[in-house]
Amino acid sequence: MENKTYNPYVSAQTQFDNVANLIDLDQATRELLRQPNKEFHVTIPVKMDDGTTKVFNGYRIQHNDARGPAKGGIRFHPQETVDTIRALSLWMTWKCAVVDIPLGGAKGGIICDPHNMSMAEQERLCRGYVRQLSKVMGPVVDVPAPDVMTNGQHMLWMMDEYETINGGHYPGTITGKPVGMGGSLGRTEATGYGVIYTLREALKSLNIDVTSTTASIQGFGNVAEYAARLYTKLGGKIIAISCWDNEDKKSYTYRNLNGIDVDQLVSIKNTFGSINKQKAIELGFELLDGDEWIAQDVDILLPCALENQITPPALEKISDKVKVICEGANGPTTPDSDEIIKAKNIYLVPDFLCNAGGVTCSYFEQVQCNMNYFWPKEEVLEKLDQKMTSAFQAVHKLSQEKNLYMRDAAYVIAINRVAEAVKLRGWV
């Protein structure tokens, strides 16, 4: 699908400016909130296994911490850009604010390709990153988490380096740690389940019975799989799932009009996350082009893979039957598509509300770490459901009362909360 030159930072600032106009935000608050508060650009020398030293560029960008310590993932990517990290830091602030957790927004990244690095080199890179940033991170300052191409092991190395430098146990420094090493139960399910908690509420408000609905999903990774699991548990029927094929370097849509058995599809997924095409066909799936997920005759679309997937040309293929889009992925819809979605009268649950289950559970992880007391999974998921449901209801209510598009209503709530915090602190 089309992935033309959308600069995410320009998109994030444009979205902010539009809402700042809508709520008539004063000039100083506008200037403060439309850009990151602090940016750290670091170089990280790493001794490679062959004896040479390679210097990596890393970033930590803290957009705003008026409502609490900054929070956001660290990504490893060979094509990482400062503007992407800036945009993601803004979105983290709005995400934490819309679900009303006492955290600000940040994002980090290192330009590298972990696929071409040994585990020992990756460990030295993680430790080097923390050595450069230890004074500006920590449980009461800025709390990182895993993101693209980083995982619980990277977070543990980073936490260990931070604890070594600071001489104590500070498990609330970083989230996304493995369970048993300070991680929270329920984190694996949290984002996908959160997507479906918001979908469940959206359907209720539209008076649609979930058991009468069908859905098509883009992606079959962490978010998509758990969204698919909960949606089918609630009685919905998934008829198509699109996923990247690592062998053919293209995506395919796997369709079964009788309804997809999620366990069955997971059982034929390999370690790279690709689905075994031959086995899928043997199990009765139709193999369609990767972009076909969006053209299915379904009630619900769940983009849970990548950014910039719902574009004006893609929307030309969308079925008239579609009533709800829940954005599980970050930024799946291009800014020029929102007007088309509005005109089609499709109910949209915007990304920073829809996929906030992940950061909400990370917040629970931090709380549990700070108390050194861990909750059972049921308790984590129950608290998650409450948070997501009340956040959804607040956004839905405002959108109804003020006749606002759901994305704008979510922004109005988030930006108002952060603006109020900076004012109460006397920053503006």
Active-site residues, by number, are 107
Question: How far apart are CB 341 and ligand NAD at their closest, in Å?
Answer: 18
In whole angstroms, how far apart are CA 316 and each of 4, 251, 312, 313? Answer: 17, 20, 7, 5
How far is the first Cα of the chain from the last one, in angstroms, to the nearest whole number? 43
SS3 273: coil
Q: For ligand NAD, which is the closer residue by CB, 243 or 314?
A: 243
Question: How far apart are CB 354 and ligand NAD at their closest, in Å?
Answer: 9
Q: For ligand NAD, which is the closer residue by CB, 156 or 361?
A: 361
Q: For ligand NAD, which is the closer residue by CB, 68 or 219?
A: 219
- Give the type of residue at 355: N
Residue ranges that bind ligand NAD, judged by CB under 6 A: 191, 218-224, 242-244, 251, 273, 290, 304-306, 328-330, 355, 358
Q: For ligand NAD, which is the closer residue by CB, 8 or 128?
A: 8
CA atoms within 13 A on the CB side of 155: 29
Pairing of strands 53-64, 105-110: antiparallel
Q: For ligand NAD, which is the closer residue by CB, 109 or 290?
A: 290
Question: How far apart are CB 243 and ligand NAD at their closest, in Å?
Answer: 4
Question: How far apart are CB 43 and ligand NAD at their closest, in Å?
Answer: 26
Question: How far apart are CB 352 and ligand NAD at their closest, in Å?
Answer: 9
Q: Are 190 and 361 in contact (CB under 8 A)?
A: yes
Distance CA 19, CA 423 (A): 18
Checking phi first, is residue 73 left (phi over 0); if not, alpha (psi -120 to 50) or beta?
Answer: beta
Q: For ligand NAD, which is the closer residue by CB, 232 or 251?
A: 251
Distance CA 349, CA 90 (A): 19
In whole angstroms, how far apart are CA 175 and each of 68, 157, 326? Answer: 15, 12, 25
Backbone angles phi, psi at 110, to 5 degrees: -130, 135
Name the CA dihedral angle for 425, 171, 142, 91, rounded to a multiple of 10 degrees. -100
Distance CA 7, CA 293 (A): 25
